[in-house]
Amino acid sequence: MATQPPWDTIGRLAGLFTALDTARGIPPEQQWTLQVLKLAEEVGESAQAVIGAMGTNPRKGRSHTWGHVQEEVADTAITGLVALYRMLGDDAPAFLDRMLAEKAGAFLPYAGAPGAAGGARGETGAMAHKVFLEGGPDELPERVVPAANPGEDVKIPHRGGYEHFRETPRRQDTAEGTLRVYEWWERTEVAE
């Protein structure tokens, strides 16, 4: 079973389509635009197949199977990878790896997710994931802390006030795994 996209084939397809469009006099940015429009078309075909598999169009009934849906989703994925390769060339695989790590990082650190490391209950009782705090006072007792809700600021009580940290797209390797980085941005005082 392949664990990575077949970049050699994707690269050859991208090269062929680029050569054909270039021979037609289409400039690179317009080629990329047309490839993204092709991607949108494939997404539409996937949606049409789902409607057909569910039988929700009264005029057509069950016009597709879930096998058809799978084929259309595969077409969509291939078209997306070709679009990425046409825009980035040989840098596409590394770019996809970085983007996959970033996007997956928003979900996989949560407790209960396959491959997730640890988790704790936040103040609201919801499952929290751990994050790495960057910046702020050097004497903070912990740099790896739970964050209950993704995208929300983390507020750490410290010396009669609060240190506030905001989520970044960056990740940090720690003893507890690779964690999302939250960067310090302000301190507030506790009102008396």
Extents of the domains making up the chain: 7-105, 120-189
Residue in 46, 151, 44, 165 with CA at minimum distance from that of residue 106 = 151
How far is Cα 78 from Cα 41, in angstroms, rounded to an integer?
Answer: 13
Residues 95-111 have a mean pLDDT of 73
12-30 per-residue burial string, b: 16 or more CB within 10 A, e: under 16: ebbeebbeebeeeeeeeee
pLDDT at 183 over 50: yes
How far is Cα 97 from Cα 85, in angstroms, rounded to an integer?
Answer: 13
> Please, are residues 163 and 189 in contact by the beta-carbon 8 Å criterion?
no
How do residues 104-149 score in pLDDT, each as one tens digit? 776 665 444 444 444 444 444 444 678 999 999 999 988 999 887 7
Phi/psi of residue 14, each to 5°?
Answer: -60, -45
Phi/psi of residue 153, each to 5°?
Answer: -60, 150
What predicted TM-score, i.e. pTM, was given to this entire model?
A: 0.58
How far is Cα 162 from Cα 186, in angstroms, rounded to an integer?
Answer: 8
- Mean pLDDT lowest among 26-30, 103-107, 178-182: 103-107
Q: Containing H/E element for 40?
A: helix 28-54
